[in-house]
């Protein structure tokens, strides 16, 4: 079972915002993932440096101070489903804060949150007004505030509108200092824990493979129960006459059974207890003329024939003149195919001489399923609105992961008071092959909900881990298309966000899936 994968990582805005906070721009701020000496960039995925804006110095190592731009009101917004819009402002002295939101769309929740203060939430439709009297104690706790706009719980759709925020006059130097401090503090909390990500990836693989194994064992158990019931009925009806020593399961492949011929008085199969199943499942063959001395049951594959092991052989084989019980042999690395069962009696089929065989009865062979965890291993992605670099690296001739470092565009002004959001698309033009299916995808650490196991209730939204940013995934599961979209957002004063994703797929064991195994 293969559970290797290449991890995709997307980073938004961190290096840029931190760079702008310190007043740097131009070539002094080049944003690309670090390349280690034993790493090699993948072809077709170059580093991309941010463009220099008009008026910026382009001399190597130089810096140009960016004006600190405070927000103006009103501000426009549009949100959809679980995505958020957020706006920041500073309150450097006590006084009233009034938030007015006018919009079209489903009901919204407007949340006003200050530093170390209890959030204030107002829900409404069309026009929402929220107010709060900032006290001297509030100012002492912190001067940065955020208004967050989201759809009401259990609501879907799109809302567009504008927000107007009124607050006391701002001491600009004090506000700028607070922003710088907040950005630096946030940087320490937005780093992805690689060990936890890898542990989650392993847990996803183990959980999916465990589920596939459980489904397989359920089929084996059901066919075993069917055999037990059949034997009880056969014993009560006097159908079981004797049992001899049978042959253990022997692989006979690479050539067809020689000199086979069916004769009217020879063995004949009337029916099978099941017409399809995976390897290891029990098939009861009913018919006549099998004899009371166990011989051979064959299963044909596209390029070979195999002996199906008689249940109970060699000590107590289930073989009688009217029925035989066998287990389906396993063939590795094949797709589902139509096999045939037939019974042969007489001499050993590998020896010269006549071979008396029954008629052939069709049986659909269903290979065992295995799980794999994959991530972005091609350029099949579309990053919304933001330039960046996508870098794969190899180490010791092994591809480790693909990282997508995506940066918010360089503005002419430093605008830390408006949250950012976007949508990224992956695997839009990729199709799994050989019957492999898209099972689930998780965006870590933000949306670990579509796959199991989970660390909490499945209804928990992982917003705020890390604080001030979020993401969720939209995907159509159960098909050969692994396409999915990641909708992400950052609140004001948050310098960056990083997410990874893990996609689990399942299909016939040992076969190519078209992505991880080409």
Instruction: Write the DSSP string, 41-98.
Output: PPTT----PPPPPTT---STT---PPPBPPP-S-EEEEEETT--EEEEEE--SSEEEE
Q: What's residue 378's pLDDT?
A: 58
Write the CATH number of the domain with boundaries 76-169. Answer: 2.60.120.680
Q: What residue ranges do the domains of the chain occupy?
A: 7-68+194-208+372-508, 76-169, 241-367
Q: What's residue 282's pLDDT?
A: 97
- For the entire predicted model, the pTM comes to 0.73
Q: What's residue 350's pLDDT?
A: 54
**How much is the average pLDDT of 473-479?**
87
Q: What's residue 212's pLDDT?
A: 95
Q: What's residue 353's pLDDT?
A: 54
Name the residue with higher pLDDT: 417 or 308: 308
Least confident of 223-232, 254-263, 427-436: 254-263
Per-residue pLDDT tens over the stretch 22-58: 333 333 333 333 333 333 332 222 232 333 333 232 2
Write the CATH number of the domain with boundaries 241-367. Answer: 2.60.40.10
pLDDT at position 476 over 50: yes
Q: How confident is the model at residue 420 (pLDDT cuts 50, 70, 90)?
A: confident
pLDDT at position 382 over 90: no
Name the residue with higher pLDDT: 34 or 273: 273
Q: How confident is the model at residue 509 (pLDDT cuts 50, 70, 90)?
A: very high
Least confident of 93-102, 131-140, 218-227, 298-307: 298-307
Residue 196 three-state SS? helix
Please confirm whether the linkage preceding 453 is cis (ω < 30° from 0). yes
pLDDT at position 122 over 50: yes
User: What Rg, from alpha-carbon coordinates, does the chain have?
Assistant: 33
What is the percentage of the chain residues whose pLDDT exceeds 90?
43
Q: What's residue 347's pLDDT?
A: 58
């Amino acid at each position: 079972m293969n559970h290797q994968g290449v991890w995709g990582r997307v980073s938004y805005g961190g290096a840029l915002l931190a760079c702008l906070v310190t007043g740097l721009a131009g070539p002094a701020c080049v944003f690309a993932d670090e390349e280690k000496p034993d790493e090699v960039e993948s072809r077709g995925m170059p580093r991309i440096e941010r463009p220099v804006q008009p008026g910026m110095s382009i001399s190597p190592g130089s810096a140009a101070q960016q004006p600190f731009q405070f927000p103006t009101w009103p501000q426009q917004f549009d949100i959809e489903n679980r995505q958020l819009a957020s706006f920041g402002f500073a309150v450097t002295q006590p006084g009233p804060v009034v938030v007015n939101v006018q919009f079209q769309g489903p009901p919204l929740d407007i949340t006003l949150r200050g530093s170390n203060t209890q959030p204030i939430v107002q829900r409404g439709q069309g026009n929402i007004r929220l107010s709060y009297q900032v006290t001297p104690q509030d100012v002492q706790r912190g001067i940065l505030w955020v208004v967050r706009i989201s759809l009401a719980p259990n609501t879907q759709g799109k809302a567009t509108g504008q927000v107007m925020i009124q607050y006391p006059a701002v001491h600009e130097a004090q506000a700028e200092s607070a922003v710088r401090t907040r950005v630096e503090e946030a940087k320490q909390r937005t780093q992805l824990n690689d060990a936890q990500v890898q542990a989650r990836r392993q847990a996803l693989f183990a959980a999916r493979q465990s589920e596939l194994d459980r489904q397989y064992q359920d089929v084996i158990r059901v066919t075993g129960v069917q055999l037990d019931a059949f034997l009880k009925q056969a014993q009560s009806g006097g159908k079981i006459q004797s049992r001899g020593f049978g042959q253990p399961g022997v692989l006979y492949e690479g050539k067809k059974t020689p000199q086979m011929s069916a004769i009217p008085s020879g063995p004949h199969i009337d029916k099978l207890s099941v017409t399809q199943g995976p390897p290891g499942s029990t098939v009861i063959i009913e018919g006549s003329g099998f004899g009371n001395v166990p011989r051979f049951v064959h299963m044909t594959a596209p390029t070979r024939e195999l002996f199906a092991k008689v249940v109970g052989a060699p000590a107590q084989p289930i073989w009688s003149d009217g029925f035989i019980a066998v287990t389906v042999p396993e063939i590795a690395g094949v797709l589902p195919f139509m096999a045939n069962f037939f019974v042969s009696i007489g001499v050993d089929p590998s020896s010269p001489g006549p071979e008396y065989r029954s008629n052939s009865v069709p049986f659909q062979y269903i290979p065992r399923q295995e799980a794999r965890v994959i991530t972005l291993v091609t350029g099949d992605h579309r990053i919304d609105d933001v330039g960046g670099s996508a870098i794969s690296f190899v180490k010791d001739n092994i591809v480790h992961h693909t990282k997508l470092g995506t940066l918010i565009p360089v503005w002419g002004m430093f605008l830390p008071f408006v949250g950012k959001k976007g949508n990224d698309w992956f695997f839009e033009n990729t199709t799994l092959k050989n019957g492999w299916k898209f099972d689930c995808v998780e965006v870590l650490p933000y949306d670990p909900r579509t796959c199991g196991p989970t660390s909490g209730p499945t209804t928990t939204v992982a917003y705020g881990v890390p604080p001030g940013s979020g993401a969720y995934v939209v995907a159509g599961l159960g098909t050969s298309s692994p396409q999915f979209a990641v909708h992400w957002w950052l609140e004001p004063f948050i310098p960056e966000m990083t997410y990874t994703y893990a996609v689990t797929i399942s299909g016939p064991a040992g076969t190519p899936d078209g992505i991880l195994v080409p």
